[in-house]
């Protein structure tokens, strides 16, 4: 007799969503960097300090003259395993992790007089570490979450079509979709909370009275908190939920929470010398101007929910969850239909959504940074879509048609969102709110409408953007896969002027060497892009690249003596200056 954990439909769902999330995965920048740097520090340096990489992210904590990631460590811990394996593979293949010929070009961002660097031409190991970290956390766990949602719907109905429809809606038409593609905590913590809740449902409705299910559920909720602190709300609600029907299983659930939660306690004690805290509490105050209070006061006395922000979280055209995903309205109706037979589950889902909304309304960056849709609300959304199953179970044709229409629209919003993120309310420093929105943001006035003003026009202009497909063949190098959102250099009279710099030392053996590079032009609506290469303030070459084209070139005999050189890439204007810039794909020393 064989035990089948997954049926054919579940296997197809998992691999389909895994492939979909993988194709569109990307890397936004400093938030993902913060988590990856903790992974790198653990594997490469055997420590939790990210001092080596701290100048490449604003999202950092500072304690006792050391820098740490300001994120919960769970996602970084999980990524450490595939990262270590990748490192071994590169070493086995004799692939240098730090190319000897690489010229480390960077652009400088100044935040409160602190310089933060974005390196443009990373080596292959960096590129693939970003890919592997994203695949084995967000992509993998989000695809598994889709499978768990399908299983949860099976507890409430036997209608396979309705189960499939709700599951597809969760994966395509909610915040699961955009956050399955980026290296954040969302995809991982959602899987832990969904699976922990599913085990409790199995105990209650499948009559599987196994104490180990309660133990495993507690372990999973504890891992969720290790990954994302806000999920402590779901942990406490799960505790209440279990208490409502199986009180004698509570010790096993609590034991599971303690076992995995102790990892966080130990990490905090080692890093911050106190067991109960959050890394974000020690955020670098030279970048973020915050008044650090005693921790209990920081949590409770400074916690002020704002009703106008709750309005923005739910209904505003700028990332409002029901504005982006109206299919979730069926979840609200479904909660109403659950009020008699599934009261405990209804209260769990409602409480999750409302409490997470209240907590997020008190945050300074309630919108979740430079990402598509609301990152901070993501933990409640998979639970909110599940009650839609009760609406579809009414077997009303008009309800099914309306659900399909809202499902299609919400899916289209996500597909349109496969563009570089629109950070309209963020200032030039990429951190603080632009001054023109500071007062407006605390009103009930509609803020912005990026869906209709930016994402949909960009979708019809470019189609859905895949960083893997776009960069796979750039510069005639199929192995150069860069999933980062574009970091271009811009000309001076364009928006946010940016140039690139590098400092290198040329040894005696390298005297007489030159520069080999490949660069690509962004769509400019004009005649392409121009940039000049300066070495020690001397212009050695000016290059023109046609729009949407890449160009490779070798400049010989650049470095004629053994010394330190300063290299600067200065972009210029060619034609109309609209989104005009140059992407540096490769910039190396060319041997003599």
Domains, the chain, with CATH or none: 8-79+123-293+322-416 (no CATH), 488-590 (2.60.120.260)
- Whole-angstrom Cα Rg for the chain: 25
**Residue 49 binned pLDDT confidence (cut-offs 50, 70, 90):** very high
Round to whole Å and give the CA distance between 125 and 5: 36
SS3 of residue 590 by DSSP: strand
SS3 of residue 166 by DSSP: helix
Compute the Cα dihedral for 38, 44, 47, 50 and give only its sign. Answer: negative
Helix H segments across 157-306? Answer: 160-172, 176-179, 186-205, 211-227, 232-243, 250-272, 295-300
DSSP character for 542?
Answer: E
Chain CA centroid to CA 453, Å: 23
Give pLDDT tens digits for 280-335.
989 898 887 655 544 443 443 356 788 899 999 999 999 999 999 999 999 999 99
pLDDT surpasses 80 at 60:
yes
Among candidates 498, 484, 489, which has minimal Cα distance to 32? 484
- H-helix or E-strand spanning residue 416: helix 397-416
Round to whole Å and give the CA distance between 335 and 514: 67
Round to whole Å and give the CA distance between 216 and 339: 28
Q: Residue 3: CB partners within 8 Å, gap ≥ 6?
A: none
Round to whole Å and give the CA distance between 103 and 388: 54
Round to whole Å and give the CA distance between 34 and 475: 29
* Strand ranges (E), 83-159: 106-111, 114-119
pLDDT score for 4: 59
pLDDT score for 130: 96
Round to whole Å and give the CA distance between 428 and 438: 14
**Residue 479 binned pLDDT confidence (cut-offs 50, 70, 90):** confident
**Which whole number is the average pLDDT over 533-560?**
90
How many other CB atoms sit within 10 Å of the CB of residue 108? 13
Tokens of 14: 């998992």
pLDDT surpasses 80 at 380:
yes
**Residue 1 binned pLDDT confidence (cut-offs 50, 70, 90):** very low
Does the global pTM surpass 0.85? Answer: yes
**8 A C-beta contact, residue 258 and residue 225:** no
List, edge to edge, every strand of the sheet that includes 106-111: 114-119, 106-111, 500-505, 564-572, 529-535, 538-545
Round to whole Å and give the CA distance between 380 and 331: 12
Cα distances (angstroms) measured from residue 52 to each of 75, 83, 99, 243, 552: 20, 17, 17, 47, 32
Chain CA centroid to CA 512, Å: 44
pLDDT score for 523: 64
**Residue 97 binned pLDDT confidence (cut-offs 50, 70, 90):** very low
**Residue 29 binned pLDDT confidence (cut-offs 50, 70, 90):** confident
**Which whole number is the average pLDDT over 385-408?**
96
pLDDT score for 457: 92
Q: What angle do CA 286, 104, 587 make, to 5 degrees?
A: 145
Chain CA centroid to CA 146, Å: 18
């Amino acid at each position: 007799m064989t035990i089948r954990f997954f049926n054919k439909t579940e296997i197809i769902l998992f691999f389909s969503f895994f492939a979909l999330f993988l194709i569109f995965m990307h890397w936004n920048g400093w938030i993902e960097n913060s988590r990856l740097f903790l992974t790198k520090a653990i594997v490469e340096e055997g420590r939790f300090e990210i001092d080596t990489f701290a100048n490449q992210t604003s999202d950092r904590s500072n304690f006792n003259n050391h820098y740490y990631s300001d994120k919960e460590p769970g996602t970084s811990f999980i990524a450490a395993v595939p990262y270590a394996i990748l490192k071994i593979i590169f070493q086995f293949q004799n692939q240098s992790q730090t190319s000897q010929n690489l010229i480390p070009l960077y652009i400088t961002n100044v935040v409160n007089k602190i310089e933060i660097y974005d390196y443009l031409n990373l080596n292959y190991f960096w590129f693939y570490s970003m890919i592997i970290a994203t695949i084995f956390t967000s992509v993998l766990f989000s695809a598994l979450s889709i499978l768990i949602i399908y299983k949860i719907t099976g507890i409430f109905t036997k209608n396979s079509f309705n189960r499939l429809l709700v599951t597809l809606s969760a994966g395509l038409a909610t915040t699961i979709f955009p956050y399955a593609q980026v290296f954040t905590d969302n995809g991982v913590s959602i899987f832990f909370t969904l699976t922990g809740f599913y085990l409790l449902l199995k105990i209650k409705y499948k009559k599987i009275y196994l104490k180990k299910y309660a133990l495993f559920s507690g372990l999973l909720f504890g891992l969720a908190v290790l990954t994302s602190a806000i999920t402590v709300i779901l942990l406490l609600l799960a505790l209440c939920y279990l208490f409502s029907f199986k009180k004698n299983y509570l010790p096993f659930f609590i034991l599971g929470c303690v076992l995995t939660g102790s990892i966080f306690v130990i990490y905090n004690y080692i890093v911050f010398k106190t067991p109960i805290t959050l890394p974000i509490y020690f955020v670098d105050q030279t970048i973020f101007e915050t008044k650090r209070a005693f921790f209990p006061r920081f949590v409770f006395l400074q916690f002020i929910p704002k009703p106008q922000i709750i309005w923005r979280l739910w209904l505003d055209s700028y990332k409002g969850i029901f504005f982006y995903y109206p299919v979730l309205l069926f979840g609200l109706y479904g909660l109403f239909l659950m009020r008699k037979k599934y009261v405990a589950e209804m209260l769990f889902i409602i409480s999750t959504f409302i409490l997470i909304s209240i907590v997020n309304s008190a945050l300074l960056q309630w919108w979740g940074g430079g990402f598509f849709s609301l990152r901070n609300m993501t933990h409640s959304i998979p639970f909110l879509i599940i009650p839609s199953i009760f609406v579809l179970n009414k077997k009303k044709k008009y309800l099914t048609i309306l659900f399909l229409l809202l499902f299609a629209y919400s899916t289209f919003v996500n597909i349109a969102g496969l563009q570089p993120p629109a950070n309209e309310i963020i200032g030039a420093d990429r951190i603080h709110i632009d001054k023109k929105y500071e007062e407006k943001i605390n009103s009930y006035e509609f803020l912005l409408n990026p869906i209709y003003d930016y994402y949909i026009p960009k979708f019809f202009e470019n189609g859905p953007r895949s960083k893997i497909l776009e960069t796979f063949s750039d510069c005639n190098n199929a192995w150069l896969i860069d999933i980062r959102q574009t970091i271009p250099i811009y000309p001076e009279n364009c928006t946010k002027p940016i140039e690139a710099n590098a400092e290198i030392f040329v040894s005696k053996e390298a005297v007489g060497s030159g520069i080999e590079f490949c660069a690509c032009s962004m769509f400019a609506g004009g005649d392409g892009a121009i940039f000049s290469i300066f070495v020690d303030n001397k212009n050695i070459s000016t290059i023109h690249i046609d729009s949407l084209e890449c160009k490779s070139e070798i400049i010989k005999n650049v470095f004629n003596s053994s010394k330190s050189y300063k290299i600067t890439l200065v972009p210029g204007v060619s034609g109309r200056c609209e989104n005009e810039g140059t992407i540096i794909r490769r910039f190396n020393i060319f041997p003599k």
